[in-house]
Amino acid sequence: MDEIRSWPFLWAWLVLFAIVLLRAGATYALGRLVAAGVVRRWQPGERARRAVDRVHRWGPPVVALSFLTVGAQSAVNAAAGLARMPVPRYLLGLVPGAAIWATVWSTVGFAAFYAVVELSEGRPGSLAVVVVTALVIVALVVVSGRSGRRR
């Protein structure tokens, strides 16, 4: 990936876009293959059918937003495949999500990644402070979200 940083922006973006399209699309396809085998043996009830309908309806925005996360992309793409989200609807989330991902990684993504690497090599204590700060922020967001729903 170091080499991509030296390429013209458009070429770097296109390569990253293609990589994520192929990777996420393959994860979705594997989910569909698994679902095809399971669904043949299982007849879902009404509740399960309603849940799958919701995934089909709201899945594209979730797929697109998953590309802004670290670690959730594969799970979301596999889940879309397992839920057998129709391919055209899946593509409505995949294409903009991949464009977002390629934009982030061809601009600030690499810079942020290498800043963390340099920080960890120079002063491991500094990296610990960054990680703890991030965890505290996430915890505060989760707790405030839960307390807001209870009111």
Residues 58, 26: contact at Cβ < 8 Å?
no
Instruction: With 0.75 as the threshold, say if the pTM is over it.
Output: no
pLDDT in tens, 24-55: 999 999 989 988 776 666 666 676 667 677 77
pLDDT in tens, 69-111: 877 888 889 888 988 899 999 999 999 999 999 998 888 776 6
Domain boundaries, the chain: 3-107
Of 99, 110, 118, whose CA–CA distance to 3 is shortest?
110
Whether residue 130 has pLDDT greater than 70:
no
Question: What confidence score (pLDDT) does residue 56 get?
Answer: 74
Percentage of residues of the chain with pLDDT beyond 70: 71
In this structure, which long-range contacts are made by residues 109-112, counting pairs with CB atoms below 8 Å and at least 24 apart in sequence?
110/1, 110/4, 110/5
Measured distance CA(79)–CA(68) in Å, rounded: 17
Mean of per-residue pLDDT scores for the chain: 80
